[in-house]
Structure 1
Amino acid sequence: MNPRQRRGLLFVLVSALVAIGTFFAVSAYVANVNSQVGSRVTVYQASQPIAPYTPLGPDNLEAVEVPERWVPKSSVLSLDELQGRRVGFRLNAGSTVSSDMLIPSSSLSATEREVAVNVNSVTGVAGRVRPGDRVDLYAVFSEVPGLPKSVRILSRDIRIVSIAGEQTVTKESAQGGTSEQQVIPVTLALEPEQALAVTYAGAFASEVRLVALPSDVGTNRKGEPNDYDARKLGGKAVPEEAE
């Protein structure tokens, strides 16, 4: 093979390599464009500002098609999956709803009710309990007319549904003043009679306290005291004067 033929063969090989490189570059470009404007999925966005804990549905959501490449999997939901669900914070119009925004669906039985009580870092067992744990609920009564100053067990073996973050609430005193307190809302799963007792304590007891239980809560707990007052200390349980 003479020099001219070798140069010709070299040019052919270089041309082939350039052609192959160009083909792959164009293919990659086309694939990139297709990923942006080709395959599309449907997501749901807020059609108007949505206040926290407002049920979601067709009245406040709208379907929007967007390129699949730019959408996280948690945002690909059907309207059936969103119907009636809630988000715990405000959504602005145009915000895309994703599964990790949604408040978990209730796990209550047919007879259970959810009731939230405010505790603090002390009465809430200093962060030692988590959703799914079971606790006893104690109430301290000190200024209820006709009721002796006492500590009473409102209910035993209560399941914790959820624990919210620390919040600031304003509380009015009997003298008409106000003060701010740091509280932690804890939602409990209760039977109707228990729910009434806890609601009463939340309104009138001076303190409601969670009491953590050992892991073997199914053991026999008969014989445990249900209340405690001055008589246990050798004194006399004197009811407050009824109004």
Structure 2
Amino acid sequence: MLESKRRAIIFLVLSFLLAALAGFLFLKKIKDMNAQLGEMVEIYEANVDIPSRALIQPDQLTTRQIPKKYADDSYVVDKLSLKNQVTVVPLSKGDVITKNILKPANMVRDQNNRLITVYASGNIMFDQELEALDRVDIIISTTKGGQPVTEVFMKDVPVAMVAKSDNKFKGVALELPFEDVPKFIHQQHYAELMRI
């Protein structure tokens, strides 16, 4: 056997042994790191945008695994704890759901209040894009006795939810006392202009 061929075989065998040793050490290090991190736990996050004060649905959720060592008590780890819950802030896709942003659905809304959906249209204008939990004043322009009149119709009305389509603002859901609902709907249909 030629000397150069023998050296090539020795180097080749040596390189295979070193590669096997490096692979073994790498796998051992990964195993040690996994043991150090400990057991994994599933936490819940939004897989779609969830508006505030909207009832959380199971199809709006997905899970992510994190080491139990890093999961504190604020993370939601039990899907049953999300039943009949709403978020008090809007969530975007990928946001982690924590206990401090959840409230029972029956506690968020006053039992005597109703949600009224208002979309921007020819006679309804929004002065700016709104967010959930904003408060608005409603000003109407109409004709009374043949004279144009502009007046404050309602003050300090809470915005319960915001409607968006393709990230464009479309309208809101306002939370009104039940006795004000017919008056608002009447003005929504018959006022010449409503500004929110």
- TM-score, normalization by structure 2: 0.49
Higher alpha-carbon Rg:
1
TM-score by length of 1: 0.42
Structure (1/2) with the larger helix percentage: 2
Which structure carries more strand by proportion? Answer: 2
